[in-house]
Structure 1
Amino acid sequence: MTHAVFNQAPPLTGHDVSADPALVEGVRREGADWALGELRALGTLAGSARAQEWGRLANEHPPVLRTHDRYGGRIDEVEFHPAWHELMGVAVEHGLHATPWASPRPGAHVARAAKFHVWSQVEAGHGCPISMTYASVAALRHSPALASVWEPLLTSRAYDPGLRPPAAKRGVLAGMAMTEKQGGSDVRANTTRAEPLGDGTYALTGHKWFNSAPMCDAFLVLAQAPGGLSCFLLPRVLPDGTRNAMRLMRLKDKLGNRSNASAEVEYEGAVAHLVGEEGRGVRTIIEMVNMTRLDCVIGSAAGMRYGVTQAVHHARHRSAFGARLADQPLMRNVLADLVLESEAATALMIRLAGATDKAIRGVRGEGALRRTALAAAKYWVCKRAPAHAAESLECLGGNGYVEDSQMPRLFRESPLNGIWEGSGNVAALDLLRSITREPDTLDAFFHEVELAKGADPRLDAAVRAARDLLADTATLEHRARQVAERLALVLQGSLLVRHSPHALADAFCASRLTSDRGLAFGGLPPGADLTAIIDRAAVTTA
């Protein structure tokens, strides 16, 4: 018996990742119940050992840059492991990229968000090109002629990798290049030049510090045109089959997101097409940024769900000190607290997807709500992800600290969404801009929150306190993070009070909307229904 392996949790495979009550209830609530069949099919694949192996292999074998061919010719290609292409093929086939834009059906963007949430739990890195392809359509619609050419390819459910002219492909993917080494989030400091060529196109010359997913077919790029900072579509391959003058200098060696390629690039007169008007680049590309910010929230919520699912599974199969971990009071407190954070993130994510869907269809007030709620959620949900990942990992003890558990991969990935598309300060300041320059956005926010008015006195008090936070305009920028946190929490509280089981809503209001708890997970008050909460994260395996 000294060498027998026992008291170890079995691998968590053979389950439906979409069997998440908060997710399914939200999909129904936001009018996308018609997609539940496809969501279950994707969730079953996501829970399979085969898909999980794809995720492992894609991270074990990161992309490799090939700058030249054997003869010394410049090719600037990125080589991926076959597992990456399997993940991408499933994502595109199931429409996780841009297909909602091709469908006017109510709930299309909600269905896509739910599927992105489920499939991201297999492997997060490949979500980058999927997310940017989704977001690129919103920006391209500023130039209808360009959109008419590219949108059918961007929305195609055919994954067709490789560098060829767009007209020769069944489907294409889009990336983005905004950040430069001297500017970071301050894109108005960009120095990349765009010079008109006289035929309606421009020649771009300059450098980008981060080019997301350089293997894509086209990129939205910011550059300084004669009329000011402008947005451009830069194809990777020109119609005649020649490679555009976009040079991949190196791939970034990142903390996480290892399966995905991010590059430094230089443009040497690369041909690009103006999107929108000259001088209005930020206003044009912000349409794309808002969509990718939504995916930052979805991705963080997905990571939380994955982490707590693994933690609960481990605790239900592991014993210590004479009892299962899941039956021990302090561990139960920690698990339940992790479930609360996950459920609140999922509820907020799906409401934002619903607001996006309705705003695109012109439903009054939804765009204004999304403007404020998305900024607050981008700040808070993404900020909570690393702490949640660390605590989920710790629930597995030493087993969680080794690579075989995949929890280190989750932990390394967890800070990314807080940085991508504007770090915490950028998101918090964006929230302030919305509520000071567009008062209707704050009105829409509190209208949504107060749909739960009178249901829980702690929530009502927290809403009043949030309003008071906004009263002192002189110090508002100094307190921007505090404002973003409180607005996100009251919106999460309102959603849980209205839509989640009483046990969850009650524990959330007691632990997140009052001031007498510690900052660490595992601080739920006595009397919280821990069993009902933890059961929300339990999964059934085949």
Structure 2
Amino acid sequence: MAAATHTVTNQPPPLVDHDVFTADRALREGVERHLPPEHAGAAADELSALGRRAGSAQAQEWGAQANDNPPVLRTHDRYGHRIDEVDFHPAWHRLMEEAVGAGLTDPWSRPHGQLLRTAGFFVWTQVEAGHGCPVSMTHAAVPALRREPELAAVWEPLLASRTYRPGLDVPATAKPGALAGMGMTEKQGGSDVRANATRARPAGGEGEFTLTGHKWFCSAPMSDAFLVLAQTEDGGGRPTCFLVPRVLPDGSRNTFRIQRLKEKLGNRSNASSEVEFDGTTWARRVGEEARGVSTIIEMVAATRLDCVTGSAALMRQAVAQASHHAAHRTAFGKLLADQPLMQNVLADLALESEAATALTLRLAAAYDAAAAGDEQERGLLRIAVPAAKYWVTKRCTPTVAEALECLGGNGYVEESGMPRLLRESPLNSLWEGSGNVQALDVLRALQREPQGFDAFLREIGTARGTDHRLDAAIKELLTQLGDLEGIETKARRLTEQMALVLQGSLLVRYAPPEVADAFCASRLGGDWGTAFGTLPYGVDLAGVAGRVGAGVG
């Protein structure tokens, strides 16, 4: 009898039908840490239900389908009428329906809402990252709109709704829920929004304008409304913020020309576009004239937290896939997970993921406290958010790339899902300001807002005396900050040091001793190579790697 030529052995099973939340010890413990005991149980139940949906084979299939079938722009209907619509695959709409239904656009309606919303965003983003863009934009628009109570009264209930209703067939006010996008950057200016050329001219009513101009990047162009920046005649070159709805109250379309969709490295399920305002017939001013940057910066701050969250979630998913593979794949006579050098790699990756998760949740809890009036927490956010955005998003790509390598050649094949994670991994370091923008923002806060730096020092100071390597890193940071010569050139290094010290202080206080020891030894103690898998001898590799979570292996 001929030997079988196609017997499949030593191939790990797919990582499906598990609870993404409960399996993640760092996330689960972090949520519990920042909640009062009386709220922790209900929160865990809610997030566990979302985690089971996120870990289902069905949800993962939606994620794959949404990326395999990217959105399509339709500028005209069959009769030649301009419609400027974007068509999405049904899987995209299922993902959006789940995200909105889970309250991921609404941190406002309950206590600890930002923490719960951030944890949910962390869980659900692991299914598919692209649809997180409109989810993030929608939730982040609310703080800016609150500058105009009349507008907020109309739009906040729609944006915070748990009902997803796509389409531009009726005004947003006739729908049970709405989405919001944002248009800031233009091709001649990029992050320098004061170079924007879009013009706003007064229309008939108070605070009403018409717009003429373009946006080089407009997020989520299928949304019901957008916050955009434009120059007014009396603005003195300083832009003003405006709300631009897609459908007007009488059911007619506002002029909103989608010129093309961007063809991107990753984030393929999501539509990013170039748009033109060709005498757009209705825009409503949000905030004071010529104060558009300070108005929309509240939206930017909220989306920067989502950049941190999204990157931490991508890292977590990549590390979970690598750990799952190693727990089921045999090489050279034993499981990969039992090979000492692979243990070092997996422990190092798990350490990076846990540090990012701890920082993400700390920032979310600070948002809740700041919203309740805690000025120290508000000051901490002013420095910690751009520092975290800089560092966590920078660490995402090398983390995902190393996790992909753990799967060997299988990780380079699209069916593994790892290439999609790798293509997605650089995005958050670009969105809402690249690395230089974040580092300079940290520098600006240090120079102009001493209350923020004081809050930062208080935060890291709570861990002083618990680990000599952390103490030494704090001392070195303060030394660097004491020398202002060439400070702008050193902005990236300072920001990196601040983020690492903040992560170290959190892990020393809250993580198991083996995790805190490994982090301080490698990230703060100087005994660390430049590649993953170079944790120093003596670190509890199994203990650190085991933090990836029960149920993954």
Calculate the TM-score normalised by the size of structure 1.
0.98
Deviation at 1:321, TM superposition (A): 1.4
Equivalent in the alignment of 2:230: 223
Letter in 1 for 2:90: P
Equivalent in the alignment of 1:69: 77
The separation in 1 between residues aligned to 2:248 and 2:6, in whole angstroms, is 62
Deviation at 1:225, TM superposition (A): 1.1
Report matched runs for 1:425-436 at 5 Å: 425-436=436-447
The correspondence for 1:306, drawn from 317, 323, 335, is 317
- Runs of 4+ in structure 1 off by over 3 angstroms are none
Equivalent in the alignment of 2:258: 248
The separation in 1 between residues aligned to 2:480 and 2:396, in whole angstroms, is 25
Q: Which runs of 5+ in 2 are unaligned?
A: none
The separation in 1 between residues aligned to 2:431 and 2:260, in whole angstroms, is 19
Letter in 1 for 2:5: T
Equivalent in the alignment of 1:440: 451
Say whether 1:212 aligns with 2:219.
yes
Say whether 1:408 aligns with 2:412.
no
Equivalent in the alignment of 1:30: 34
The separation in 1 between residues aligned to 2:447 and 2:179, in whole angstroms, is 36
Equivalent in the alignment of 1:118: 123
Equivalent in the alignment of 1:143: 148
Deviation at 1:361, TM superposition (A): 0.9
Equivalent in the alignment of 1:46: 54
Q: Which runs of 5+ in 1 are unaligned?
A: none
Equivalent in the alignment of 2:277: 267
Is the CA contact (8 Å cut-off) linking 1:14 and 1:541 kept in structure 2?
no
Seq. identity, %: 64
Letter in 2 for 1:246: F
- Secondary structure at 1:203 match in 2: strand
The correspondence for 1:94, drawn from 88, 97, 102, is 102
Deviation at 1:149, TM superposition (A): 0.9
Deviation at 1:269, TM superposition (A): 1.4
Deviation at 1:226, TM superposition (A): 2.1
Is the CA contact (8 Å cut-off) linking 2:241 and 2:296 kept in structure 1?
yes
Letter in 2 for 1:27: V
Equivalent in the alignment of 2:306: 295
Equivalent in the alignment of 1:161: 166
- Secondary structure at 2:462 match in 1: helix
The correspondence for 1:14, drawn from 13, 17, 22, is 17
Say whether 1:170 aligns with 2:173.
no
Is the CA contact (8 Å cut-off) linking 2:404 and 2:411 kept in structure 1?
yes
Letter in 1 for 2:152: A
Deviation at 1:539, TM superposition (A): 4.0
The separation in 2 between residues aligned to 1:262 and 1:53, in whole angstroms, is 23
Q: Deviations over 1:357-397 (max 9, x none)?
A: 11011123000011111111000000000000100100001
Deviation at 1:109, TM superposition (A): 0.6
Deviation at 1:101, TM superposition (A): 1.6
Letter in 1 for 2:128: E
| Range that drifts further, 532-541 or 107-116 | 532-541
Q: Deviations over 1:108-136 (max 9, x none)?
A: 11000000000000000000000000100
| Range that drifts further, 490-499 or 510-519 | 510-519
The correspondence for 1:462, drawn from 470, 473, 498, is 473
Say whether 1:376 aligns with 2:387.
yes
Is the CA contact (8 Å cut-off) linking 1:308 and 1:342 kept in structure 2?
yes
The separation in 1 between residues aligned to 2:438 and 2:234, in whole angstroms, is 28
- Secondary structure at 2:433 match in 1: coil
Is the CA contact (8 Å cut-off) linking 1:101 and 1:137 kept in structure 2?
no
Deviation at 1:322, TM superposition (A): 1.4
The separation in 2 between residues aligned to 1:36 and 1:324, in whole angstroms, is 33
Equivalent in the alignment of 1:338: 349
Equivalent in the alignment of 1:192: 198
- Secondary structure at 1:65 match in 2: strand
The correspondence for 1:385, drawn from 373, 383, 396, is 396
The separation in 1 between residues aligned to 2:435 and 2:157, in whole angstroms, is 35
Is the CA contact (8 Å cut-off) linking 1:309 and 1:539 kept in structure 2?
no
- Secondary structure at 2:374 match in 1: coil
| Range that drifts further, 466-475 or 482-491 | 466-475
The separation in 2 between residues aligned to 1:538 and 1:167, in whole angstroms, is 44
The separation in 2 between residues aligned to 1:167 and 1:388, in whole angstroms, is 43
Is the CA contact (8 Å cut-off) linking 2:527 and 2:536 kept in structure 1?
no
Deviation at 1:541, TM superposition (A): 6.4
Is the CA contact (8 Å cut-off) linking 2:224 and 2:247 kept in structure 1?
yes
Is the CA contact (8 Å cut-off) linking 2:179 and 2:224 kept in structure 1?
yes
Deviation at 1:473, TM superposition (A): 1.2
Say whether 1:239 aligns with 2:249.
yes
Is the CA contact (8 Å cut-off) linking 2:17 and 2:52 kept in structure 1?
yes
Is the CA contact (8 Å cut-off) linking 1:372 and 1:434 kept in structure 2?
yes
The correspondence for 2:334, drawn from 323, 327, 338, is 323
The correspondence for 1:84, drawn from 79, 86, 92, is 92
The separation in 2 between residues aligned to 1:324 and 1:23, in whole angstroms, is 27
Deviation at 1:327, TM superposition (A): 0.7
- Secondary structure at 2:211 match in 1: strand
Deviation at 1:538, TM superposition (A): 3.5
The separation in 2 between residues aligned to 1:188 and 1:146, in whole angstroms, is 25
The separation in 1 between residues aligned to 2:477 and 2:222, in whole angstroms, is 44
Deviation at 1:312, TM superposition (A): 0.3
Q: Deviations over 1:417-439 (max 9, x none)?
A: 00000000000000001111001
Q: Deviations over 1:318-367 (max 9, x none)?
A: 11111211111111100000000000000000000000111011123000
Equivalent in the alignment of 1:525: 536
